[in-house]
């Protein structure tokens, strides 16, 4: 029930941001964009915050139905992938970009950051959405990767009102 509720709550945010839900893996939702679509108007960044807002906007309902409000974090990266068709209905994404994104997602939890992105992705964006900033974290060692990767936390700017 809980995972089903989360899936419904994030689906509209993904569609609005022009993303595609690739897979559900346990409590993880894997969302993809083509580089062209995801980078345009920072849709991939917008999508992350829309998903966060969608779940947070239902906090009272989650607390009432499940006794807690789920928290999640997101990882953003860009690069080449191998896309294979698996049967009639499933596309599989393979390659180092997919592996690196999974490692960034793991680091987001370890670093207590809601949204982490590779410097590669941030540098390719033509700007961030209003009210959002990028904080360079420097090179971070990622499990299973030989070289540290430059990461940035993507955060909302604190309101001064």
Residue 87 clears pLDDT 70, i.e. is over it: no
SS3 114: coil
Domain ranges of the chain: 2-156
Mean pLDDT of 24-50: 89
Residue 86 clears pLDDT 70, i.e. is over it: no
**Beta strands 115-118 and 74-76: pairing type?**
parallel
pLDDT bin (cut points 50, 70, 90) of residue 43 is very high
The pLDDT of residue 90 is 64
The pLDDT of residue 96 is 86
In this predicted model, what pLDDT tens digit does every residue of 107-118 receive, in sequence order? Answer: 998 999 999 999
**CATH domain 2-156 topology:** Alpha-Beta Plaits (3.30.70)
Q: State CA 11 to chain mean position distance.
A: 13
pLDDT bin (cut points 50, 70, 90) of residue 88 is low
pLDDT bin (cut points 50, 70, 90) of residue 5 is confident
Which residue, 152, 139, 149, 137, is CA-closest to 100? 149
- Tell me the pLDDT of the chain averaged across its residues: 89
Mean pLDDT of 74-79: 93
Residues 32 and 93 sit within 8 Å (Cβ to Cβ): yes
pLDDT bin (cut points 50, 70, 90) of residue 160 is low
What secondary structure does DSSP assign to 53-100, as a single string?
A: HHHHTTHHHHHHHHSS-----EEE-----EEEEETTTEEEEESHHHHH
Highest-scoring range by mean pLDDT, 4-18, 88-102, 128-142 = 128-142
């Amino acid at each position: 029930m809980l995972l089903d509720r989360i899936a419904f709550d994030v689906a509209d945010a993904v569609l609005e941001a022009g993303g595609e839900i690739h897979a559900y893996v346990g409590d993880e939702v894997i969302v993809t964009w083509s580089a062209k679509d995801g980078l345009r108007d920072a849709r991939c960044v917008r999508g992350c915050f829309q998903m966060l807002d969608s779940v947070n906007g239902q906090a009272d309902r989650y607390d009432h139905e499940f006794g807690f409000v789920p928290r999640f974090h997101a990882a953003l990266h860009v690069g080449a992938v191998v896309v294979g068709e698996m049967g009639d209905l499933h596309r599989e994404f393979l390659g180092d970009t997919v592996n690196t994104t999974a490692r960034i997602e793991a680091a987001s939890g370890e670093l207590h950051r809601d949204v982490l992105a590779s410097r590669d992705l941030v540098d390719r964006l033509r700007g961030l959405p209003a009210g959002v900033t990028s904080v360079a974290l420097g090179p971070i060692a990622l499990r299973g990767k030989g070289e540290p990767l430059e990461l940035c936390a993507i955060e909302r700017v604190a309101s001064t009102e």
